[in-house]
Structure 1
Amino acid sequence: MYHSLEEFLSHWAFESADTQKLMDALTDASLSQPMYPGGRNLGRLAWHIAQTIPEMMNKTGLAVGGVGEHEEVPPTAVEIAHGYASAALSLVEEIKAKWTDLTLTTTDELYGFTWTKAMTLAALMSHQIHHRGQMTVLMRQAGLRVPGVYGPAKEEWEDLGMEPPAI
């Protein structure tokens, strides 16, 4: 849970940069990689992460832009990456312009629950991290080089001339 806007904004800068690295590594061909037959594909999952930023945070009184809640998945990886970047930046701008540390203790109704704004920010962060993990698996299945998150990825260890740790 966040106790100050600076605490959230610092964490958001770190986590959204890692999410952006994954978005930037997508290719148009990889977008169709399915989770399972009939399930979301990689493109839909990446777009869902981008769309959730305004969808969730606008329920708190913000006016986060970047992507529309009901927009179709763009046909290109570049458009998805750009949409995520725009929404992530818009969130920061909206919070800085409209909230104070005291705002974090106020509540909103979201998804049938009453959450403080601090809880909503924590849920947004957890949601992004959860789906980012799913993205890395689908990216591997699609044959993409996956950027490291929380440390080097397999290929990054090799780029450093080191053996990836045995797990």
Structure 2
Amino acid sequence: MYRSIDEFVEDWSREEEATLKVLKVLTDQSLKQAVSDTQPRTLGDLGWHLVGALGAILGSTGLQFEGPDYKHPTPSNASHIVESYRVMSSAVVDALKQQWTDTQLSENLLLFGSMNMTYGGVLNMVIRHQIHHRGQMTILIRQAGLVPPGVYGPNEEEGAAMRAARNQK
């Protein structure tokens, strides 16, 4: 659990950078990549979900900030998703710094009317939620014929390039 807003912001900064790496690979065409033949959700929907979930989750705690409405349909423009994520991420960090305190992070709340957790636990859930969907997106990016970026380590192509460079020495 996070003990300070600054601790969360430091962690969020790394995760935001990783999420942007994934989002920046998207093309307008790749947004249509379906999760499965039976699942109507697409790669674009997952990217837009990363934007909107910040408002849905953190907004349910009473945190107030402006950003794209998660209820809007998924954009057909990949760069719009990237920019919306940047706007939302910045708004979240600013709102947390202004509206929450370090002491508040250990206080309990009822999230979505049914989940008992601390404010710090909500921040932890937001991070984990981003990681979860980012992982799904990297698979769909590959299925869409694009190369997903390495996030916590090199992707297949980056690893092959590193091995080739070592072998040339």
Q: Which runs of 5+ in 1 are unaligned?
A: none
AA of the residue aligned to 1:140 = R
AA of the residue aligned to 2:104 = T
Identity %: 38
What residue is the counterpart of 1:35 in the other structure?
A: 35
CA positional deviation for 1:15? 0.6
1:57 and 1:64 in contact (8 A); partners too: no
The alignment's C-alpha RMSD in Å is 1.4
Q: Aligned to 2:109, what secondary structure does the other structure show?
A: strand
Q: Which moved more, 1:27-36 or 1:148-157?
A: 148-157
1:59 and 1:108 in contact (8 A); partners too: no
Rg comparison, structure with higher value: 2
CA positional deviation for 1:65? 2.5
What residue is the counterpart of 2:141 in the other structure?
A: 139
Q: Aligned to 2:46, what secondary structure does the other structure show?
A: helix
Does residue 71 of structure 2 align to residue 101 of structure 1?
Answer: no
Aligned residues between the structures: 163
Structure 2 CA distance for aligned equivalents of residues 100 and 162 of structure 1: 49
CA positional deviation for 1:21? 0.8
Structure 2 CA distance for aligned equivalents of residues 9 and 162 of structure 1: 37
Structure 2 CA distance for aligned equivalents of residues 142 and 24 of structure 1: 14
2:31 and 2:42 in contact (8 A); partners too: yes
AA of the residue aligned to 1:67 = P
Structure 1 CA distance for aligned equivalents of residues 75 and 145 of structure 2: 21
Structure 2 CA distance for aligned equivalents of residues 19 and 65 of structure 1: 20
CA positional deviation for 1:132? 0.4
CA positional deviation for 1:136? 0.2
Q: Which moved more, 1:54-63 or 1:106-115?
A: 106-115
What residue is the counterpart of 1:92 in the other structure?
A: 93
2:28 and 2:77 in contact (8 A); partners too: yes
The alignment's TM-score, normalised by the length of structure 2, stands at: 0.91
CA positional deviation for 1:46? 0.8
What residue is the counterpart of 1:53 in the other structure?
A: 54
